[in-house]
A and B are shown apart, each in its own frame.
Chain A
Amino acid sequence: MAPSSKSKGAAVKEMEKSDDINDVPSFSVENIQHNMKIVYYCRTFLSIVAGSIAGVLGLTALSGFLCYFVIMLLASLGLAAKTKFDVHSFFDSWHRVVFDGVSQEFMSFVLFWSFAYDIVHIF
């Protein structure tokens, strides 16, 4: 089932990756994958919510896309805050937290945006 206990409302459980060698950073792959799953799950949820918001507000064209990126940015900030801004001890690079999953969830955003927009404004 979906990791419901790890939703963004409740405590997001993220695990440390072991970083015990001073010369060579070593990663615990399972923990990184687990953290990435959490990021992905948050983004999926938020893209649906963002689509509904954009549709209900009646945003069109550029402002709608802007809404998506703003919400994704807020998500990244939230995730970074959850790691107490020490992103490197939870992920292998900060690109993951900010950029990963944004383009994958874009289609879901467009779908729910169109859906909400049509239901509220056209019909």
Chain B
Amino acid sequence: MANDLVLDTAIRDWVLVPLSLVMVLIGVLRHFVSKALQSSPTPDPKAFKESQVVIRARYLRGAANYIPLKAFRMRRTYYNNEENGLLHVPKGQAQNMQAQMFSDPNMAMDMMKKNLSMIVPQTLTFAWVNFFFSGFVTAKIPFPLTQRFRAMLQNGIDLSSVDVSYVSSRSWYFLNLFGLRGLFSLILGEENATDDTQRLMQTQMAMQMGGLGADPAKALGAEKDGLDLIQHDWVLPKIEQKAEVVLRQFLDH
């Protein structure tokens, strides 16, 4: 029968609550440590200018349909033409930038710091949990799972007749790991350091793309191609008539 195991109250006092508390505190600590360790990179002015040009070109791409065709073409030539277009990079310079990127240690340091601040606390906490809290039933999860989950959830417990709902501390650790993300976003505000590592990396790369010489030539080339590809489709063809109607309404009142 689905026997209800009676678990010692001491488990609740000394395992469940401390584990969750420790994870919350470590998360908060990690957030503040990563904020304190954030190095403000001094951006290279040339690379920064290029990244701003890329951003301007991107705005043009986004809003291309709201300006008349001639105006759009004029702007596009300004960016793309062969002699002095802002996005045009002659072949010789492209190679230089590649070399520059590899010799720049800042990016590597930042990524390593971010990585470390994510991985190390998780590993340490996991090792701590394994060392102290293994070999007994920790909690009961309120929904039934199939037998295949037994190996995953009950790895410290060697009885095979115990319900799969009774899990060991390792699974409580993982449950906390995934479930506390929501709590962190509440108490630490947005953009906290405990979010997904991948997402953080992506946004970091995107933001520092211009300031660090990580393929600026490619970025410029990509924007140039993007601009070339746009089909202009003016969405405001009757705007003068509409403006006339609105103005007449104002004048008539």
Please give the distance in Å from B168's CB to the nearest CB on chain A. 13
Q: How far is the CB of A35 from chain B (nearest CB, A)?
A: 14
- Please determine whether B139 and A114 come into contact, CB atoms closer than 8 angstroms: yes
Q: Which residues 1-38 of B sit at the A interface, judged by CB distance below 8 A? A: 4-9, 11-12, 16, 20
CB <8 Å contact, A37 and B190 = yes
Least CB distance from B3 to A in Å reads 12
Task: Check A118 against B16 for contact (C-beta < 8 Å).
Answer: yes
For B20, B143, B182, B190, the residue with the greatest tally of chain A CB atoms inside 10 Å of its CB is B182
Interface of A is mostly: helix
A89 at the interface (CB under 8 A from B): no
Q: Are the C-beta atoms of B143 and A65 separated by less than 8 Å?
A: yes
Instruction: Report, as a range, how many residues of chain B touch the other chain.
Output: 20 to 34
Chain B contacts with A in 205-253, Cβ cutoff 8 A:
235-236
Contacting pair A55 B142 (CB below 8 A):
yes
Cα distance A42–B9 when bound, in Å? 34
| B139 x A108 contact (CB < 8 A) | no
Q: Is B108 an interface residue (CB 8 A)?
A: no
Within 8 A of A (CB), among B114-137: none
Q: Which residues of A contact B9 (CB under 8 A)?
A: 123
Closest to B242 in A: A22
User: In the complex, which residues of chain A have a beta carbon less than 8 angstroms from the beta carbon of B65?
Assistant: 24
**Would you list the 6 A-B pairs with minimal beta carbon distance, nearest first?**
A111-B179, A108-B182, A123-B12, A107-B178, A61-B143, A44-B182
With both chains docked as a complex, state the minimum distance between the C-beta of A46 and any C-beta of chain B, in angstroms. 10
Is the pair B178, A111 in contact by a Cβ cutoff of 8 Å? yes
A60 contacts partner chain B, Cβ-Cβ < 8 Å: yes
Indicate which residue in A2, A24, A114, A122 contacts B186 across the interface (CB closer than 8 Å): A2
State in angstroms the CA–CA spacing of A41 and B144 once bound together: 30
A3 to B181, CA, bound (A): 17
Q: Which residues of A contact B140 (CB under 8 A)?
A: 114, 117-118, 122
Interface presence of B189 (CB below 8 A) = yes
Bound state CA distance, A61 and B164, in angstroms? 13
Bound state CA distance, A122 and B142, in angstroms?
10
Among the listed B7, B12, B142, B178, which residue makes an inter-chain contact with A59, where contact means beta carbons less than 8 Å apart? B142
Counting CB contacts under 8 A, is A1 at the interface?
A: yes
Q: Which residue of A lies closest to B237 (CB)?
A: A23
* Residues of chain A having any CB pair with chain B under 8 Å: 1-3, 21, 23-24, 37, 40-41, 44-45, 47-48, 54-55, 59-62, 64-65, 104-105, 107-115, 117-119, 122-123
Which residue of B176, B188, B235 is within 8 Å of A111 (Cβ)?
Answer: B176
Closest to A40 in B: B185
Does B180 belong to the interface (CB within 8 Å)? yes
**Least CB separation from B13: chain A residue:** A123
Contacts of A109 in B (CB 8 A): 179
User: Known pairs A62-B143, A110-B175. 11 more at Cβ < 8 A?
Assistant: A1-B189, A24-B235, A37-B190, A40-B185, A44-B182, A48-B186, A54-B142, A60-B143, A64-B142, A111-B180, A123-B11
Given the known inter-chain contacts A2-B189, A21-B235, A119-B16, please indicate yes or no for A108 contacting B142, CB distance below 8 A: no
Report the Cα distance A6→B121, complex, angstroms: 32
Check A107 against B12 for contact (C-beta < 8 Å): no
Give B80 Cβ to nearest chain A Cβ, in Å.
26
Q: Is the Cβ of A108 less than 8 Å from the Cβ of B180?
A: yes
